[in-house]
Structure formats: C-alpha cells, structure tokens
Homo-oligomer: A and B are copies of this chain.
C-alpha cells in the first residue's frame, strides 16, 4: 500500500529564544552540527520510505515560505496551511483528507518536525514495521520511547507486555503528563513508554475513528475534502476550521479508540525541548563547552555557547547557556532554561514584539 507522511510543523516554540522567534520557530532552526534544520532532517530521514510527492507538511500560512525555502522538493500543494491552530486532531484530519483525495487508501505516518533521531536506519526500520501493522487491519500504531528517567513533561502510554505482535504491543491507555511521583510509579511498572507523538495508520482507519469519536470534525473534514482542487478550497477550509473545536489526537481519538498498538523505538530519540538539548546533541570540547561561532573561552567549563559572527569571550564561567543573535543575547544559567518564557512574557507586556 502507498506510504504517505504528514509532518506537523505548526509549532511556535519559545524555548529556543532568541534564535527561535515567532517568525522562525524551532523546526526551522539548525541545532545540529550538520547545519540542516530540524524539518529538513525530518524529511530526509523518511526519504527512503516515502516519495516527496507523498510527504505533506501541515503548518500555518506564516511559515509557508519557510517550508518552501527549506524543502524545495515538496510540492507546494502538499503544504497544508491551517487557517487557525486547532490542535492535532483537526491538523491530522486535514492531512488525512488530502491523502484520501489522492489515493483510495494509503498508510499515513504522522511525525513531528522538531525532534531528533540518532539512528536513522533503525528509525526507518521501526516505521516499516509500523506500516505493516497499520496495513493489516484497522490499527492505530504509535511509537513509544523507553523512558530514561521519570520525565514529567511528556505524556505516557501504558501497554500490555503480554500482548505483542512482532515488536508491537497492545496499548492499554494514553495518560497525560504525570507528576514526579506518578512518573516514578510508571517507570517501576515497566509498562509505560513515553508518547513520542508519532503515529501510523491507514487513512481509512483514522478517518473512521474520527467519524466515530469526533463526528463534527469528521463532517467538516468531508466538506474540506470535497472542496480540494476547487475554487472554494480556501473558503471552505477557513470556514470549517473556524468551527472546529481545539482537540488533540491523543485526547480526541487515542484515549477512546480500540486496536491501538505501540512500537518501542530504539533509535535514539530527543525531543530537543530546550537549549540543554544542544549540550546533548552537539560535540562537546575538552572543557565541556559546546561552542558555535566566534568564541574565546578562558577557564570556562560546561557552557553552551551559540554565537554567530560576533566575538564572544568568556572568562571563569560555568554551566551557562549563551545565545547571541543579531538583535538579542541570552545569558542563562543552565538550570533556569525553563524561565526563557519569562523573558518572552516581559517582552510581550512591554509590547516589544520585534524581539518575540
């Protein structure tokens, strides 16, 4: 069966400020040593599995030009611009009806655009397995990540270790971000994986699940599908999206559906959630510094320093994140990376939109 992909690239992440901006979110940044952006890596990773004409990018119209620039191989009509953000269920539904318009049925993989994968071949192998499970029945396949530690920032998926099909397990339930005690409990049971936000299913399977669990969304999607390729396409899309409820695929479908399987991913996954991730991803020098740009470090240890052309000299500092851009510089203690949002709140309050 035809393999297709929907890459979700609508996010407006703030955690990589000042490099990321409202006008340039994380998925369009290069955070790795190879100079490629996150979304370029995402497409490259599946290029042996899915043809370019079958890769769809869902984003919003502000980012359409970024997608065109960074992914010149993707046909323009495959860039699906949501008129307003309505969370992942409408986003995935939109992708599904576009694919359904093109193919009678197809396997559809849904992938975030801003995660990193270390072992790409192994990742593709997992996707292949997921496609097989998706093809052979009305199955909803997710990819789970074996937790390294009791993270409280991710959703978890409970699986049944005694009910496996090949590498995949039957899913018991999806659970929201836990508190630390709960997260520790989950790890102790050995029956929970991190929810990576990656899914595989047939287009027919996800659409029938949407019809069953989110009937209003389904009927709107049908109108959209009908209008694709007509003069009303834009108009219908805007009208229907405006009426959609904001609902996640996890809450709207996965927590209610049956026939859910999870494939534990062993390919080295990183959601690149903050500047700290850059310390894990990029090469570290002998002093423990991760350094990019025009940098002199004197007696400085374990810092993440991301500059550009401008000279940055550091003396006697440690455990700092330093990010320099054309118009703004961040100097942040590593444990305070989560407080970048406070800087952005401050900028919003002061109407300094040029920095956001």
A346 interface residue per 8 A CB criterion = yes
Contacting chain B: which of A157-165, A198-206, A220-228, A316-324? A316-324
- A316–B335 contact, CB under 8 A? yes
A314 to chain B: which residues have CB within 8 Å?
Answer: 330-332
A176 interface residue per 8 A CB criterion = no
Task: Report A322-356 CB contacts with B as 1/0, cut-off 8 Å.
Answer: 10100111111101110110110011000010010
- A331–B322 contact, CB under 8 A? yes
A298 interface residue per 8 A CB criterion = yes
Cα distance A347–B311 when bound, in Å? 10
- A328–B343 contact, CB under 8 A? no
Cα distance A347–B312 when bound, in Å? 12
Number of A interface residues at 8 Å Cβ cutoff, please give it. 33
Beyond A312-B329, A328-B311, A329-B312, whether A336 also contacts B299 by CB under 8 A is: yes
Cα distance A317–B342 when bound, in Å? 14
Task: Report A300-321 CB contacts with B as 1/0, cut-off 8 Å.
Answer: 0000000000111111110010
A298 to chain B: which residues have CB within 8 Å?
Answer: 336, 339, 342-343, 346
- B340–A315 contact, CB under 8 A? yes
Cα distance A316–B336 when bound, in Å? 6
A296 to chain B: which residues have CB within 8 Å?
Answer: 343, 346-347
- B312–A328 contact, CB under 8 A? yes
CB-contacts of A83-132 with B (<8 A): none
Shortest A28–chain B CB gap in Å is 21
Cα distance A352–B327 when bound, in Å? 24
A317 to chain B: which residues have CB within 8 Å?
Answer: 320, 331-333, 336
A310 to chain B: which residues have CB within 8 Å?
Answer: 327-329
A331 to chain B: which residues have CB within 8 Å?
Answer: 312-315, 317, 320, 322, 331
- B311–A332 contact, CB under 8 A? no
Interchain Cβ contacts under 8 Å between A and B, 18 examples: A18-B311, A296-B343, A296-B346, A296-B347, A298-B339, A310-B327, A311-B327, A311-B352, A313-B331, A314-B331, A315-B330, A315-B332, A315-B339, A315-B340, A317-B332, A317-B336, A322-B331, A331-B331
Q: List the interface of chain A (C-beta within 8 A of B).
A: 18, 296, 298-299, 310-317, 320, 322, 324, 327-333, 335-337, 339-340, 342-343, 346-347, 352, 355
